[in-house]
Amino acid sequence: MKVVLVSYTPDSELIIASSASASYDSKKNFTPEYVSSFLKNLAERGHLSPFEHASFTFDIQGISRACSHQLVRHRIGVAFTQQSQRYTKLTEPHFVTPSTIEQGWEERYADLSLACHRLYREMVEGGIPMEDARYVLPQSFETRIVMTMNARELINASELRLCQKAQWEIRELFENLRSEVKKVAPAIEQMLKPKCYRLGFCTESKSCGLFPTRNKVETKNGSN
Amino acid sequence: MKVVLVSYTPDSELIIASSASASYDSKKNFTPEYVSSFLKNLAERGHLSPFEHASFTFDIQGISRACSHQLVRHRIGVAFTQQSQRYTKLTEPHFVTPSTIEQGWEERYADLSLACHRLYREMVEGGIPMEDARYVLPQSFETRIVMTMNARELINASELRLCQKAQWEIRELFENLRSEVKKVAPAIEQMLKPKCYRLGFCTESKSCGLFPTRNKVETKNGSN
Amino acid sequence: MKVVLVSYTPDSELIIASSASASYDSKKNFTPEYVSSFLKNLAERGHLSPFEHASFTFDIQGISRACSHQLVRHRIGVAFTQQSQRYTKLTEPHFVTPSTIEQGWEERYADLSLACHRLYREMVEGGIPMEDARYVLPQSFETRIVMTMNARELINASELRLCQKAQWEIRELFENLRSEVKKVAPAIEQMLKPKCYRLGFCTESKSCGLFPTRNKVETKNGSN
Amino acid sequence: MKVVLVSYTPDSELIIASSASASYDSKKNFTPEYVSSFLKNLAERGHLSPFEHASFTFDIQGISRACSHQLVRHRIGVAFTQQSQRYTKLTEPHFVTPSTIEQGWEERYADLSLACHRLYREMVEGGIPMEDARYVLPQSFETRIVMTMNARELINASELRLCQKAQWEIRELFENLRSEVKKVAPAIEQMLKPKCYRLGFCTESKSCGLFPTRNKVETKNGSN
């Protein structure tokens, strides 16, 4: 997996802060420290709409089609341009191998993946349209996708995708997105966390241990 | 592929017409004929927002993951609930075979698909998480998805997906959606057409023959 | 203000439950009690996307343009058709008076409102386009809007709009929406609450007293 | 009305072109001329999704609340942060006067507007909450709104809002947006046009004369 931030709103954090301020019309000193604490305060109070004024564009290479299928379920504040398997011939057999499979099953997994790609290539060379030949390719096969996401959706999607219960490949993807954002918007990067940090509790039926589940928080409060 | 309309806005066409009328506040006789011609007129003038007041829910079974990956790219006026390969074990090897492959390649295609499914099953039984084992499954493998779409998006998506240039499986899906809509909303069904019907020209670089490309229409006009 | 539920997804709660179940593929008994507790569980775990399969259409009359301006800021899972002041002449001076104004300022407020409407009427009769004459009308003047909202957005919007800090007219509107939903979908109605019920804390800088602010919850937990 | 472009995706046109190319995976020379004709070609074929990768943020001052109410109806690919009349006191009586009213009705219109603002101020000073006092303000009163729109929605919204049939103030607003975009993205600016340019016909019941209505185009074609 290779994730590169190819474009972004310049001075994104300042743009968010000054947009939000326009709505309250007060004069303010926009030092980096001020902007950072202002953004933190907005997020804590749930005022996330100003975060829609800043966007980040990533070139994402080498994720599986299993992962991209999940990724494109994000619908709000996001744009995707994905490499088409209808028009682009996959000449090389690049595919993703989950680490659980690497231990013991790797050879058969790789052999079958290569066999699928061989049949794909033969069919394409034999005149089968690429859009049909690709049906034989496992969903482990790699794709490339350009994604633009605004800061609000980055925060929101990270709450889901950075959770320990998220599927490993999409979690790894969001960790990469976060690393890229850190280079240009460190205050926003601070907000890219699983939702339990904001809630103070875990919404899953069983917690990973980071925060207690909702029930246990209530018990605790009740005991005071 | 099996598509069943499982729920829909009752009297959908009447709801659209009366919602649109409220915005112009005139009294009207809502005979079925009136509603039908009123909707047609709204659509021709591009006033499609009232069509958002009616929705249709479909249970879609037996489409490939290749097809569902395209389908979920629709983001507006649509909701999806898809069978999860993370939590549901695919016990049977159900997969889609494109008709081009049926002619000559079918045996090798089927053999490889079955081999992939065999390895999938062995890995799951051997303790590999389903969410990882599924990476070996070709994107031909079938999925099930519940989709709710409002009438505006049905019209809009059909303009793209019923085009002769659309990928065959998603075109077949939209033909099935259209058949289901016809049973309960015949005036809306009439609007589910490739976009060339509305435009009077084809936007592709080469036309399928139904309508001339934009350039040729201009030439025609110019010659008058 | 008058709010009437004019259309809705039949058996909305059952549709949500069976859509969500399709994604986990288990067989279930769908008694009303089961459906109700199943929906509650989905919501608590933050799995709200199945709630998008059910929609409700309301005819909303007699809210101010101040209120409708806020209302149309909801962008997701919602459709609006509003009475146009460009094409509909407002023959009668219907306007909203906040209760704070009723005490002491009502006469001058009403006189000015009527004077504005009189000038509006004279200008329209004098040939000024309605779309321009309306500029003189106070934003207290009433409008009519047809709104379709899916259950997910109803839950989400209610979390904001039923809060004690929300503006009084839009809070009253959402209380009316809730009453209408209760008649046909009591389990969904139960979820239409300010967000502090879900969070267990208040995100405002000062709480109304219903739940403590986030800081105080952390202190409590810390003391255990 | 004052419109200032305060932020935008750097090299927006290049970002759109290279995002779109990734999906077809071909190597290309990205001269400005190439980019410009590439974008034009994408738009003509209706492939607008790559245009979502570039965004523009505008500080919009001095539009009426009548206009902002229309503006915020755009829901897709757009973000708004509006000056709140709940929390910001309008100390000065700034309002918009339509040009039709300037001719003959201006004095009465201005007098009433000032009277409304006077009552507003007195009520606020008398302890009425700003959020209630503002009900007396005509919708001609000015507001300030920060808007971020992606290039696809700019194209789409301009097709509606630059039409001669659009309401004059929002048309003027979009002419200002277009002028701002021209400074940094001239190829995109070329696409900000009423939709008749793309269609080759007018969808209104009566044309402004720029293009014939749909019926007449068909007749023309039929006569060939």
Please report whether residue B222 resides in a domain: yes
Can you tell me the distance from the alpha carbon of B199 to that of B133, in angstroms, rounded to the nearest whole number? 47
Same domain, A30 and A51: yes
pLDDT digits (tens, 9 = 90+) for D4-13: 999 999 999 9
Can you tell me the distance from the alpha carbon of B216 to that of B95, in angstroms, rounded to the nearest whole number? 42
Q: What percent of chain A has pLDDT over 90?
A: 83
Query: Using CB atoms, which residue from A8, A19, A150 is nearest to D146?
Result: A19
CA proximity to C4, closest of C136, C151, C177, C164: C177
Which residues on chain A are in Cβ contact (under 8 Å) with C201?
Answer: 200
How far are the Cα atoms of A201, B103, B151, B209 from residue B163, in angstroms, in the given order? 49, 24, 18, 11
- Provide the shortest C-alpha distance from residue D220 to chain A (in Å): 37
CB contact under 8 A, B200 and D201: yes
Which residues on chain D are in Cβ contact (under 8 Å) with A75?
Answer: none
B188: containing domain: 2-81+142-193
Same domain, D17 and D50: yes
Structural contact between residues C221 and A200, judged by C-beta atoms closer than 8 angstroms = yes
Structural Rg of chain B based on CA atoms: 22
Please report whether residue B210 resides in a domain: yes
Please report whether residue A19 resides in a domain: yes
Query: Using CB atoms, which residue from D23, D52, D146 is nearest to A22?
Result: D146
- Provide the shortest C-alpha distance from residue A16 to chain B (in Å): 25
φ/ψ of residue B166, rounded to 5:
-65, 155
Mean pLDDT of chain B: 92
- Grouping H, G, I as helix, E, B as strand and the rest as coil, residue C126 is coil
Q: How many CA atoms lie within 13 A of C54 on its CB side?
A: 27
Same domain, A74 and A18: yes
* From C65, C134, C152, C161, active-site residue: C161
Please report whether residue B66 resides in a domain: yes
- Provide the shortest C-alpha distance from residue D23 to chain A (in Å): 4
- H/E element, D176: helix D168-184
Same domain, D62 and D13: yes
* From D134, D161, D171, D178, active-site residue: D161
Per-residue pLDDT, D22: 67
Which residues on chain D are in Cβ contact (under 8 Å) with C64?
Answer: 135
A113 close to B (CB below 8 A): yes
So what's the ipTM on this one? 0.92
Please report whether residue A94 resides in a domain: no
Same domain, A203 and A180: no
114-143 of A, contacting B, C-beta below 8 A? 115-116, 119, 123, 126, 128-129, 131-140
CB contact under 8 A, C220 and A220: yes
Which residues on chain D are in Cβ contact (under 8 Å) with A24?
Answer: 83-84, 87-88
Same domain, C27 and C45: yes
Same domain, D75 and D151: yes
CB contact under 8 A, B57 and C52: no
Which residues on chain B are in Cβ contact (under 8 Å) with D201?
Answer: 200
Non-local (6+) Cβ contacts of C75 within 8 A are D75, D76
Domain count across chain A: 2
Tokens read off for A133 = 């030949």
pLDDT digits (tens, 9 = 90+) for B71-86: 999 999 999 999 888 8
Please report whether residue A41 resides in a domain: yes
Residue D26 has pLDDT above 60, yes or no: no
Enumerate the H helices of A60-163 as residue ranges.
Answer: 65-71, 99-102, 106-125, 130-133, 151-161
Per-residue pLDDT, D28: 59
Same domain, B9 and B75: yes
- Provide the shortest C-alpha distance from residue D65 to chain C (in Å): 9
Question: What secondary structure, in 3-state letters, does B28-66 show?
Answer: CCCCHHHHHHHHHHHHHCCCCHHHHHCEEEEEEEEEEHH
CB contact under 8 A, C105 and D126: yes
Q: What percent of chain D has pLDDT over 70?
A: 93
Please report whether residue A86 resides in a domain: no
C221 close to A (CB below 8 A): yes
Please report whether residue B33 resides in a domain: yes
- Looking at this protein, which amino acid is placed at residue B123? M
CB contact under 8 A, B65 and A129: no
Non-local (6+) Cβ contacts of D171 within 8 A are D161, D162, D163, D164
Would you write out chain C's pLDDT as a tens digit for each of its 224 residues?
Answer: 999 999 999 999 999 999 998 644 444 568 889 999 999 999 999 999 999 999 999 999 999 999 999 999 999 999 999 988 888 899 999 999 999 999 889 999 999 999 999 999 999 999 999 999 999 999 999 999 999 999 999 999 999 999 999 999 999 999 999 999 999 999 999 999 999 999 999 999 899 999 999 888 765 444 33
Which residues on chain D are in Cβ contact (under 8 Å) with B202?
Answer: none
B59 close to C (CB below 8 A): yes
Structural contact between residues A205 and C45, judged by C-beta atoms closer than 8 angstroms = yes
